[in-house]
Each structure stands twice: as C-alpha cells, then as structure tokens.
Amino acid sequence: RPGAFDYYVLSLSWSPSYCARAGRNADPLQCRAAKPYRFIVHGLWPQYERGYPDFCEGFGPRDPSYETVRDMLDIMPSRGLVRHQWRKHGSCSGLSPDRYFDLTRKAFAKIRIPAAFRDIRSGSRMDADAVETAFRLANPGLRDNAMAVSCEHDRLSEVRICLTRDLEFRSCRSVDRRGCRQKQIHVPAPR
C-alpha cells in the first residue's frame, strides 16, 4: 500500500563507476557532461524493516511531469533514471511526484559529501570502511550502522544512507549487512 513503510534509504551513486561500467551504453547526460559528476542521487527508497515495496499500482501518475524531471537533472542527471525511480520507488511513497522529488532533494541536501570525494582528480584505491568513516565524520549523527557502501566489480558503486520518514539518520541493519565485503575498492576519477 503506498505510504505504508518504515524508513527511507537515500542511495548515492558514484557516477564515474556507473559511466565506466556502462561504457557506450551510459546515459550521455550523466557521462559526457562538461562538468563531471561525482556522487549523484540514485534514488530515495521506501523500506520496510525487512524488504521494501516497489512498483506500487494505482497511486499517482505513471510518470512525473516533464518539468519535474527537468528540475531533478542537476542531482539525478538522467531522465530515464528520474522516471524509473518514480515508477519503482516514488509510487510507493504515498506522495505526489513533485512532493517525492522535493523530499529526495531535501534528503540529498542533508548529506555532506566528504572532501576526499569532492576533490578526487585521479582514481584511487580505498578501504570500504574508510568510505563509511569519511561519511560519518562529515555528517554528525550518522553512524556506521545507518549506512552501507556498495561495490560492484571491485569499484565503489554507491553509499546508501538510512533516514527516518522525517529525514533523520537511523540505523538499518538489513541495509548495513548488505554492504561491500571487499577490503580495497577502486574509486574511479571523474572524467
């Protein structure tokens, strides 16, 4: 049922990893931008304590408006990603597309990206725990059990941060347990 969930996960995708993985199939808006992206919003996902709802039927429009999609491109630089996130996750939020994406923007604005990721100029290797530590130190109140670092093919993929419905940090063992198990991960540089 739309709106019946326990908390949110804000998923921040490391854009250079997506661009490298997708290659020629990557969204050009995201991967061929004049100013390369670093962390972008992958999505704001309603969650149950165990599992999550998705593709909720019968609530709101199938797609957000053209204006709503356009207004999200600075933090979600892919029209397809914005539309997909609404269909899969936003439709379960119990909010209209405009309110859901406003909340997504507020959640993203709440997170301080650590300086180490704002200033990366060349690729590096990093301990997955060091990524969590950097986010924890940059965001007072964020604890290790309220986030998870995801990796794919030896690359940093995402940082997932658990938030209450009021966008306060909260623990989330089910998300934390699914974090990256590799010791060293590659953090590709923006291009």
The pLDDT of residue 59: 66
The pLDDT of residue 140: 96
pLDDT in tens, the chain (191 residues): 888 999 999 999 999 999 999 989 999 999 988 888 999 999 999 999 999 999 998 767 788 999 999 999 999 999 999 999 999 999 999 999 999 999 999 999 999 999 988 777 667 888 888 999 999 999 999 998 999 999 988 899 999 999 999 999 999 988 877 788 887 898 888 87
The pLDDT of residue 43: 97
The pLDDT of residue 134: 94
* CA distance readout (Å), 8 to 11, 28, 115, 128, 149: 9, 29, 25, 22, 16
The pLDDT of residue 18: 94
* CA distance readout (Å), 85 to 10, 177, 188: 12, 23, 25
Backbone angles phi, psi at 19, to 5 degrees: -60, -40
Q: What is the CA radius of gyration of the chain?
A: 16
Backbone angles phi, psi at 121, to 5 degrees: -115, -25
